[in-house]
A and B are shown apart, each in its own frame.
Chain A
């Protein structure tokens, strides 16, 4: 069972907006930044969002992140077929000596 909670699946038609939630606690999302990763089938994960809402160079602005309290969200606007992938949220957790925690992942399907 993952420390961060994500819905197992989400879907939308091309052009739609899809939102993925990520729920945590005061020891992680509530006090630390959230990062989001995209994993296309058979490939390594790719950093999509860091520091809650910042995009690394090369990531389209269709992807956006936000955070409120102990929850975070990833939004994909103008959904495209190539966005079909698994998406993971992650954060540092301050408990014990500190470590990175991941969500269980959300499979996004483009209908």
Chain B
């Protein structure tokens, strides 16, 4: 049973970089066929896909965020990370990490989510 857990600062200042890590247990992050992704949800709003990394293949990003986003994998720590630069208040959201095992873009395992607020 794959378990995912997000971690990182709950408060980030405007113009700084938001950094989150998703720790994976119950399986190896280097397993083939898994997409490791980030999805966010502003308070009271819907879901927005940020991007995903397909281990040893490449990364895919939401075009609206691509210039500010980096997703990477650290196989030695069995975790993957999100960096979002130049944040503003509109980046305030619950950030979820998730993985798609059953099918490329069908996220069937999710972390519990972590709220990140952008404020000075």
Q: Dominant SS at the A interface?
A: strand
Provide the residues of chain B in CB contact with A88, threshold 8 Å.
Answer: 46-47
Identify which of residues 36-79 in chain A touch chain B, using a CB-to-CB cut-off of 8 Å.
Answer: 37, 39, 43-47, 50-51, 56
- From 26 to 67 in chain B, residues with beta carbon under 8 angstroms from any chain A beta carbon are 37, 39, 46-49, 51-52, 60-63
Q: Is the CB of B60 within 8 A of A99?
A: yes
Query: Residue B83 at the A interface, CB < 8 A?
Result: no
- A75 CB to closest chain B CB (Å) equals 18
Q: Is the CB of A92 within 8 A of B96?
A: no
The number of residue pairs between A and B whose CB atoms lie closer than 8 Å in the complex comes to 70
A-chain residues with CB within 8 Å of residue B49 when the two chains form the complex: 90, 99-102
B108 touches A47 (CB 8 A): yes
Contact call B96/A50, Cβ cutoff below 8 A: no
Closest to B109 in A: A47
Q: Which residue of B lies closest to A32 (CB)?
A: B105
Report whether B47 and A44 are in contact in the complex, using a CB–CB cutoff of 8 Å. no
User: A residues within 8 A CB of B61?
Assistant: 97, 99
Enumerate chain A residues within 8 angstroms of B63, measured Cβ to Cβ: 96-97, 99
Distance in Å: Cβ of A85 to nearest Cβ of chain B: 13
State the CA gap A58–B51 with chains docked (Å). Answer: 27
Cβ-defined contact, A35 with B105, below 8 A: yes
Interface residues of B (CB under 8 A from A): 37, 39, 46-49, 51-52, 60-63, 96, 98, 102-108, 110-113
A-B contact pairs, 22 of them (CB 8 A): A2-B46, A33-B103, A35-B103, A45-B39, A45-B110, A47-B102, A47-B107, A47-B108, A50-B106, A56-B108, A86-B46, A90-B49, A92-B105, A96-B63, A97-B60, A99-B61, A99-B62, A99-B63, A103-B46, A104-B46, A105-B46, A105-B47
Q: A33-B103, A88-B47, A90-B47 are in contact. List 8 more A-B contacts (CB 8 A).
A: A35-B103, A35-B107, A47-B102, A47-B107, A47-B108, A102-B46, A104-B46, A105-B47
